[in-house]
Amino acid sequence: MRVLVPLNSIFPSLRQGMLDFGSKHFYQVGNGYHFIGIFMPKVGNTIHFRPQKMSEPSGNKERISMELFDDIVRTYEGFREPRESIYQFLNRSARPEYEATRNLLEKWFQDYPQPYSLDLSKRMYSKLDEDHLGAFFELYCYAWLRYQGFVVKPQRIVDVTKGNPIDFLVQSADTPLFYLEATVAMDVNTADVSQRILRELWNGLNTLQEPNFRIELSVERESTHSLPIKKMCSDIHDWLQMLDPDVVSEWKTTSTQDRWPYYDLDGWKIVFIAIPKPPGSRGKPGNTVFGQRSAVQWRKQHNSLQAALKEKKDRYGNFELPYVIAIDALAINSLDCDVEEVLFGQEVALFDKQSGEITITRSPLLPDRPTQENGFWFARRGPRNRHVSALLLVDELMPWSVVSKTPVLWHNPWAEKPLDPNIWQGPQMIPNMDTPEPYMQERTGKKGHEIFHLQSGGANI
């Protein structure tokens, strides 16, 4: 289990407050001008590598329908058109999976209390995808909480001096438990094709779960051409199997430029750098990608997620109950990001020239590191945003992907008002403060389809 921060050693006064938490193939390079595959820079060898909708006005009055979607005969079984909104497509598609999506949303909406359902339906009906997805995620969170047995009250004022209503006050019978605000991390620039391709490469490499190494991607040139990700991952795996982590630890940075394999094709230039895990962490599978950098600077893989947290953290004033921010990460730069980096600061690899050992730590624990490498909950001066008790995070949740997606609840180790993990049925990441090196420990829970009593492997809703 990876250590986030040496909490006990640096912040001993905080520890007591946390105790309550609970065969290789080689091919010759072709004509020297056009490279194919991933190359070792030696002798030119390549390794194988509406439930309520406002209708059109009628005279001076508006007719209100109690459904989210039109009651019509649908015949269109094609795909969504480029300029078509999500709602328009859902409303006209005759494909079974989208019919199932509509039925589920209608069912959830029928339980949504008046008068708040009217505003929600207007946003659900929006032709602006951002508005529609925001409303959908609110409805999803409402249903997620209700199906766990909570009493959910929408639009409650937390602090009268602020006056901003938060999405939900969550109770157990008449006992208030916590507040929850739902939001969506959207793209600022959805045309960032190269970053989407790199994210897919990240995902592919992380599935390798390499036990002895992590990989740093040095992106020297970017392109919009697709990458042969399966082959690249296979080649990287084969390459790492040939390496001895102790030997790699002794390589000096100035003499390793000819050791690393690279991909150079269709405008891309990506160098793959092996970083040995510390001896105590070897033999344990984990995410393979350590980080990604360009020729100028490290790329942030979680800008929109950070922006969403920053927007919501101080909007509602002082909390007398635990505060949970729920985020549907739809932005390219937020999908499958390292949540621990977002919350606790960027990982940094320290190389000891004398011993040859590499130590993994967090940027906030080091002097003279950029402030943008700080985490949402942990920064240079220590814990911050302690009033945000937890983060409920789900990647790429869309109206038709409810069955296949499950949000994870991340607890704040330094929360002023900790949320009791025992009231939650879904998966969680909980601080374990009872060890010399505290860490975030996974607690398994019910999958999304189990919470909603839906059939797993059925229609992709």
33-55: average pLDDT: 37
Where is pLDDT greater, at 315 or 219? 315
pLDDT in tens, 371-381: 778 889 988 88
Where is pLDDT greater, at 5 or 144? 144
Per-residue confidence (pLDDT) for residue 11, from 0 to 100:
37
pLDDT in tens, 423-451: 999 999 999 887 666 678 999 999 999 99
Give residue for tokens 């390798």.
208
Per-residue confidence (pLDDT) for residue 192, from 0 to 100:
55
Confidence of residue 116 (pLDDT cuts 50, 70, 90): very high
Provide the residue ranges of all domains of the chain, joining segments of one domain with +.
1-22+116-185+312-461, 186-299
Spatial contact of 382 and 9, defined as CB atoms under 8 Å apart: no
Distances (CA, A) of 218 to 260, 261, 270, 289: 10, 11, 6, 11
How many CA atoms lie less than 13 Å away from 387 in the CB half-sphere?
A: 14
Per-residue confidence (pLDDT) for residue 66, from 0 to 100:
66
- Cα gap 439→3, rounded to integer Å: 5
Q: How far apart are the first and last CA of the chain?
A: 33
188-195: average pLDDT: 54
Confidence of residue 324 (pLDDT cuts 50, 70, 90): very high
28-40: average pLDDT: 33
Per-residue confidence (pLDDT) for residue 58, from 0 to 100:
34
pLDDT > 70 fraction of the chain, expressed in percent and rounded: 76
Confidence of residue 31 (pLDDT cuts 50, 70, 90): very low
Where is pLDDT greater, at 410 or 218? 410
Per-residue confidence (pLDDT) for residue 292, from 0 to 100:
61
Q: What angle do CA 330, 336, 339 make, to 5 degrees?
A: 105
- Cα gap 170→341, rounded to integer Å: 29
- Cα gap 399→397, rounded to integer Å: 7
Spatial contact of 133 and 328, defined as CB atoms under 8 Å apart: yes
- Cα gap 329→206, rounded to integer Å: 19
Other CB atoms within 10 A of residue 18 CB: 20
Confidence of residue 233 (pLDDT cuts 50, 70, 90): very high
Confidence of residue 35 (pLDDT cuts 50, 70, 90): very low
Other CB atoms within 10 A of residue 55 CB: 12
Per-residue confidence (pLDDT) for residue 461, from 0 to 100:
53
Is 70 exceeded by the pLDDT of residue 5?
no
Is 90 exceeded by the pLDDT of residue 320?
yes
- CA-nearest of 217, 240, 197, 220 to 49 is 240
Confidence of residue 200 (pLDDT cuts 50, 70, 90): confident
pLDDT in tens, 331-359: 655 555 678 888 888 777 777 777 777 77
Say which residues have a Cβ less than 8 Å from residue 231's Cβ, sequence separation at least 6.
37, 48, 49
For residue 340, the one-letter residue type is E
Per-residue confidence (pLDDT) for residue 30, from 0 to 100:
32
pLDDT > 90 fraction of the chain, expressed in percent and rounded: 40
Per-residue confidence (pLDDT) for residue 372, from 0 to 100:
77
Helix (H, G, I), strand (E, B) or coil at 40: coil
- CA-nearest of 166, 106, 115, 167 to 141 is 167
φ, ψ for residue 268, nearest 5 deg: -85, 145
pLDDT in tens, 242-291: 998 888 887 754 445 567 888 888 778 888 888 888 888 888 887 777 76
Per-residue confidence (pLDDT) for residue 190, from 0 to 100:
38
Per-residue confidence (pLDDT) for residue 196, from 0 to 100:
73
Kindly report the pTM of this predicted structure.
0.65
pLDDT in tens, 405-424: 999 999 999 999 999 999 99
Per-residue confidence (pLDDT) for residue 258, from 0 to 100:
65
Per-residue confidence (pLDDT) for residue 164, from 0 to 100:
92
Confidence of residue 216 (pLDDT cuts 50, 70, 90): confident
Where is pLDDT greater, at 99 or 361? 99
Q: What is the mean pLDDT of the chain?
A: 78
For residue 275, the one-letter residue type is I
